[in-house]
Chains A and B, each alone.
Chain A
Amino acid sequence: MASTTGPQLAGGVQGPTRAQIDAKTLRTDRWWLAPATTFVVFSAFVVYATWRAFADSNYFVDPYLSPFYSPCLGDCVKGSSDFGTPFGGFPLSAALIVLIFPLGFRMSCYYYRKAYYRAFWLSPPACAVAEPHGSYSGETRFPLVFQNVHRWFWYAAIVVAAILTYDTALTFREADGGHVGLGSLIFVANIVLIWLYTLSCHSCRHIVGGRLRHFSKHPVRYRMWTFVSKLNAHHPSFAWYSLFSVAIADLYVMLLANGTISETRFF
Chain B
Amino acid sequence: MGYDLKMRVWRGDQSGGELGDYTVEVSEGEVVLDAIHRLQATQAGDLAVRWNCKAGKCGSCSAEVNGKPRLMCMTRLSDFEPEETITVTPMRTFPVIRDLVTDVSFNYEKAKELPSVELGPRDADGKRRMMQVDVERGQEFRKCIECFLCQNTCHVVRDHEENKPAFSGPRFFLRYAELDMHPLDTRDRRAAAQDAAGLGLCNITKCCTEVCPENIKITDNAIIPMKERVVDRKFDPLVWLGNKIGVRNKDDDGRTEL
Contact = CB atoms under 8 A, between A and B. Distances in A.
Interface of A: 1-5, 10-13, 15-21, 23, 25-29, 110, 113-114, 117-118, 123-124, 127-131, 133, 135-140, 144-145, 148-152, 155, 202-203, 205-206, 210-217, 222, 232-233
Contacts of B160: 11-12, 135-136
Contact of B200 (A4, A13, A28, A138): A138
B8 interface: yes
B155 interface: yes
**A-side interface mostly:** loop
Contact of B201 (A138, A215, A232): A138
Given A15-B161, A213-B183, A127 B153 contact: yes
Interface string B73-93: 000000000000001011011
B228 A206 contact: yes
Contact of B203 (A26, A28, A139, A203): A139
Interface of B: 8, 10, 12, 14, 16-21, 64, 66-69, 87, 89-90, 92-96, 102, 131, 133-134, 137, 153, 155-156, 158-163, 180-183, 198, 200-207, 210-211, 220, 224-225, 227-232, 234-238, 249, 251-252
Contacts of A11: 159-162
26 contacts: A4-B18, A5-B16, A11-B160, A12-B159, A17-B14, A18-B95, A19-B92, A21-B19, A28-B66, A118-B205, A124-B158, A124-B205, A128-B64, A128-B153, A130-B155, A136-B160, A138-B198, A144-B203, A148-B234, A148-B235, A151-B228, A206-B229, A206-B232, A210-B225, A211-B249, A213-B251
A19 B225 contact: no
Most chain B beta-carbon neighbours within 10 Å: one of A28, A117, A148, A213: A213
Given A148-B235, A213-B252, A128 B207 contact: yes
B186 to A, nearest CB: 11
A93 B21 CA distance: 64
B138 to A, nearest CB: 10
A111 B147 CA distance: 26
A2 B8 contact: yes
A216 B201 CA distance: 33
A215 B153 CA distance: 33
Given A128-B64, A139-B203, A152-B237, A215 B137 contact: yes
Given A118-B205, A211-B232, A214-B183, A18 B96 contact: yes
For the complex of A and B, the 6 pairs showing the least CB-CB separation, nearest first, are: A26-B67, A27-B67, A138-B201, A216-B131, A127-B207, A17-B95
Nearest to A206: B228
B174 to A, nearest CB: 15
Given A12-B161, A19-B96, A212 B131 contact: no
Contact of B202 (A10, A138, A216, A222): A138
A1 B21 contact: yes
Contacts of B183: 213-214, 216
Given A117-B204, A202-B228, A216-B183, 15 more contacts: A1-B19, A4-B10, A11-B159, A11-B161, A13-B92, A17-B14, A17-B96, A21-B17, A114-B203, A124-B158, A136-B159, A140-B200, A144-B203, A211-B249, A222-B133
